[in-house]
């Protein structure tokens, strides 16, 4: 007779199965810190750390969980979720998800860099150095709010995470890392989170800043010898939002200072929210310790919108702007403007402006006329542009790619470049071979097949390709 599994063993086995069926970001977000609380009369009660996880597990993942449970233990009929606070879960010995222990303090002493011996800063209110008033500008644009953000399958995880954080600052997901291609709503979500806090907790200090501005301010403070004030001011922020963090990549000094500010804020449960055009793993030359801090929190992605989503967004935007769009125009725009929401908005504004100036109501004919130029001029990408995107993304040179050599750091970008030229540009295999220093067409074919396969089986590869495609699409614009 088989030995029955303990609750922990059973839950680990369930997680093992669920992990295969859903994306990694979703898996970590919703299953981190969960465990089986009890099994009673065929009803399994799952301990979850918060109401958001409860909602998602009960409504979206119910069937996955039940299926996995039933396959392991036939007399299970139903699941329920019960919110158990972190410290109680700890007692309950929660399961590690992907090696990440949800309840282990992010900065336990063994994680703490030895060099981190900052003097204690007084965090009471009103100690803002008077020399740096601009540091307390929130930089929030009230236009970006959650209620203006249209939720669809491509962004629901990121939206849920931002909203959850706005309801539980500093304690739920910290840091929160949102990534996705340009124009997909990252800034909108980050700013909505900031605005929500300002609205509900006016005493909280919120700062939104792009990583480029952050770098600029830091450099200025070094020049003005006011770096201590700079850091001290940052360390009094309750919610620090850093947008487009990929631009920190490669700037050692900035990363170092950011890391210290990050640690100081994190240790006193201040919230950090970060966005990037790609996952932390795919940001080249991001310092390892920063990368692992980012990965230790919660990561959610926004992908490109499907046709249904584009239709929904366009309809909502038209309504918001008071633009009357007939169904045929709505469909035409959504079918032709496919890259991102920013372009959809741009198209709508151009059409509305044209119709107003010419005093002609919007119709399919007018839409085709206004968009005609843009659509016809939609550039076809060249292999050269693929190479630029690849060399930027992986920090390699063109010579590296063409040279003979099988080092993985070079071979991988080379294979991806071949794959993109073949699948996106439909360049003949033999031409691709010539572009890469006269390689044989079978070498190219091998690369294309390898990447195609990995795309299906490895989440990391899928994410990498999504980031690259986003960048190529921007060039097509
Ligand atoms: P990103 O920061 O990812 O490049 P933005 O947040 O700047 O993108 O979004 C570009 C534009 O599209 C903004 O005007 C934003 O309000 C709008 N937008 C993006 N996604 C949505 C959405 N889901 N609902 C409503 N507006 C959106
Ligand atoms: Mg942005």
> What tens digit of pLDDT does each residue of 210-219 get?
998 888 888 8
**SS3 call for 469:** helix
Residue 103 above 80 pLDDT? no
Query: Parallel, antiparallel, or unpaired: how do β-strands 35-40 and 43-48 relate?
Result: antiparallel
**Confidence at residue 433, expressed as pLDDT on a 0 to 100 scale:** 92
Angle at CA 186, nearest 5°, toward 15 and 235?
Answer: 90
Stretch among 112-126, 374-388, 436-450 having the lowest mean pLDDT: 112-126
Ligand 1 atom with minimal separation from the 144 CA = 16
- With cut-offs at 50, 70 and 90, classify the pLDDT of residue 421: very high
Ligand 1 atom with minimal separation from the 151 CA = 23
Residue 276's DSSP bridge partners are 179
- With cut-offs at 50, 70 and 90, classify the pLDDT of residue 6: confident
Neighbours of ion ligand 2 (CB under 5 A): 186-187
Which ligand is in closest contact with the Cα of 244? Answer: 2
Q: Is the CB of 187 under 6 A from ligand 1?
A: yes
Structure confidence by residue, pLDDT tens digits, 241-283: 999 998 887 788 888 888 888 988 998 889 999 999 988 888 8
Please tell me the pTM assigned to this model: 0.63
Ligand 1 atom with minimal separation from the 316 CA = 25
Q: 414 vs 121, which has greater pLDDT? A: 414
Probe residue for ligand 1, chosen from 188, 211, 340 as the CB with the greatest number of ligand atoms within 8 Å: 188
Contact in structure between 210 and 241 (CB atoms under 8 Å)? no
Q: Is the CB of 414 under 6 A from ligand 1?
A: no
Q: For residue 234, which of 290, 183, 272 has the smallest C-alpha distance?
A: 272
Residue 118 above 50 pLDDT? no
**Confidence at residue 471, expressed as pLDDT on a 0 to 100 scale:** 82
Structure confidence by residue, pLDDT tens digits, 38-85: 999 889 999 998 887 888 888 888 888 988 898 888 888 899 999 887
Residue 427 above 90 pLDDT? no
Q: 150 vs 374, which has greater pLDDT? A: 150
Ligand 1 atom with minimal separation from the 344 CA = 12
Q: Is the CB of 183 under 6 A from ligand 1?
A: yes
Contact in structure between 56 and 160 (CB atoms under 8 Å)? yes
SS3 content of the chain, % helix, strand, coil (to 5): 55, 10, 35
Ligand 2 centre and the CA of 276: distance in Å?
8
**Confidence at residue 331, expressed as pLDDT on a 0 to 100 scale:** 94
Query: Parallel, antiparallel, or unpaired: how do β-strands 206-210 and 176-180 relate?
Result: unpaired
Q: 208 vs 19, which has greater pLDDT? A: 208
Residues 393 and 437: their CA atoms lie apart, in Å, by 21
Q: Is the CB of 184 under 6 A from ligand 1?
A: yes
Ligand 1 atom with minimal separation from the 188 CA = 6
Query: Parallel, antiparallel, or unpaired: how do β-strands 271-276 and 176-180 relate?
Result: parallel
Residue 89 above 50 pLDDT? no
* Report for 87-91, 99-103, 148-152: range of highest mean pLDDT: 148-152
Ligand 2 centre and the CA of 184: distance in Å?
8
Residue 139's DSSP bridge partners are none
Probe residue for ligand 1, chosen from 316, 341, 470, 473 as the CB with the greatest number of ligand atoms within 8 Å: 341
Residue 353 above 70 pLDDT? yes
Q: Is the CB of 150 under 6 A from ligand 1?
A: yes
- With cut-offs at 50, 70 and 90, classify the pLDDT of residue 477: low
Stretch among 9-13, 113-117, 462-466 having the lowest mean pLDDT: 113-117
Residues 90 and 232: their CA atoms lie apart, in Å, by 34
Residue 385 above 50 pLDDT? yes
Residues 194 and 162: their CA atoms lie apart, in Å, by 9
Q: Is the CB of 159 under 6 A from ligand 1?
A: no
**Confidence at residue 59, expressed as pLDDT on a 0 to 100 scale:** 81
Name the DSSP letter for residue 100: B
**SS3 call for 233:** helix
Residue 324 above 50 pLDDT? yes
**Confidence at residue 192, expressed as pLDDT on a 0 to 100 scale:** 98
Which ligand is in closest contact with the Cα of 186? Answer: 1
Nearest CA to ligand 1 atom 19: 185
Average pLDDT, the chain: 83
Nearest CA to ligand 1 atom 25: 149
């Amino acid at each position: 007779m088989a030995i029955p599994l303990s609750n922990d063993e059973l839950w680990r086995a369930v997680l093992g199965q669920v992990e295969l069926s859903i994306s990694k970001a979703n898996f970590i977000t919703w299953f981190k810190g969960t465990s089986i609380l009890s099994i009673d009369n065929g009803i399994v009660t799952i301990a979850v750390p918060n109401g958001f996880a409860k909602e998602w597990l009960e409504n979206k993942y119910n069937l996955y969980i039940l299926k996995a449970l039933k396959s392991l233990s036939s007399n299970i009929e139903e699941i329920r979720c019960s919110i158990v606070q972190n410290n109680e879960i700890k007692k309950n010995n929660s399961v590690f998800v992907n090696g990440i222990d949800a309840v282990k303090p992010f900065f336990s002493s063994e994680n703490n860099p030895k060099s981190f011996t900052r003097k204690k800063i007084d965090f009471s209110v009103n100690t803002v150095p008077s020399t740096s008033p601009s540091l307390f500008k929130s930089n929030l644009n009230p236009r970006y709010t959650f209620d203006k953000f249209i939720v669809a399958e491509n962004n629901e995880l990121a939206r849920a995470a931002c909203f959850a954080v706005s309801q539980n600052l500093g304690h739920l997901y910290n840091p929160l890392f949102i990534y996705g291609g340009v124009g997909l709503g990252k800034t909108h979500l980050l700013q909505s989170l900031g605005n929500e806090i300002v609205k509900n907790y006016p005493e909280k200090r919120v700062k939104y800043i792009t990583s480029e501005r952050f770098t600029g301010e830091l450099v200025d403070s070094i020049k003005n010898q006011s770096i201590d004030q700079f850091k001290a001011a940052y360390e009094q922020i309750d919610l620090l939002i850093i947008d487009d963090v990929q631009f920190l990549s490669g700037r050692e000094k900035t990363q170092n200072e950011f890391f210290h500010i990050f640690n100081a804020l994190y240790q006193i449960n201040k919230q950090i929210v970060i966005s990037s055009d790609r996952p932390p793993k795919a940001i080249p030359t991001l310092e390892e310790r920063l990368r692992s801090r980012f990965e230790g929190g919660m990561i959610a992605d926004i992908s490109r919108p499907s046709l249904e989503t584009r239709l929904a967004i366009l309809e909502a935007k038209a309504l918001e702007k008071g633009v009357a769009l007939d169904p045929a125009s709505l469909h035409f725009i959504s079918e032709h403007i496919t890259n991102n929401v920013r372009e959809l908005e741009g198209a709508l504004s151009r059409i509305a402006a044209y119709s107003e100036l010419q005093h002609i109501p919007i119709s399919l004919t007018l839409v085709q006329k206004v968009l005609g130029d843009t659509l016809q001029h939609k550039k076809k990408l060249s292999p050269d542009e693929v190479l630029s995107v690849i060399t930027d993304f992986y920090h390699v040179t063109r010579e590296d790619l063409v040279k003979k050599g099988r080092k993985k750091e070079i071979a991988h970008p080379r294979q991806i470049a071949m794959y993109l030229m073949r699948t996106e540009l439909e360049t003949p295999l033999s031409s691709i071979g010539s572009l890469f220093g006269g390689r044989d067409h079978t070498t190219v074919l091998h690369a294309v097949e390898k990447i195609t396969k990995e795309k299906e089986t490895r989440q990391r590869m899928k994410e990498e390709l999504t980031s690259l495609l986003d960048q190529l699409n921007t060039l097509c614009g």
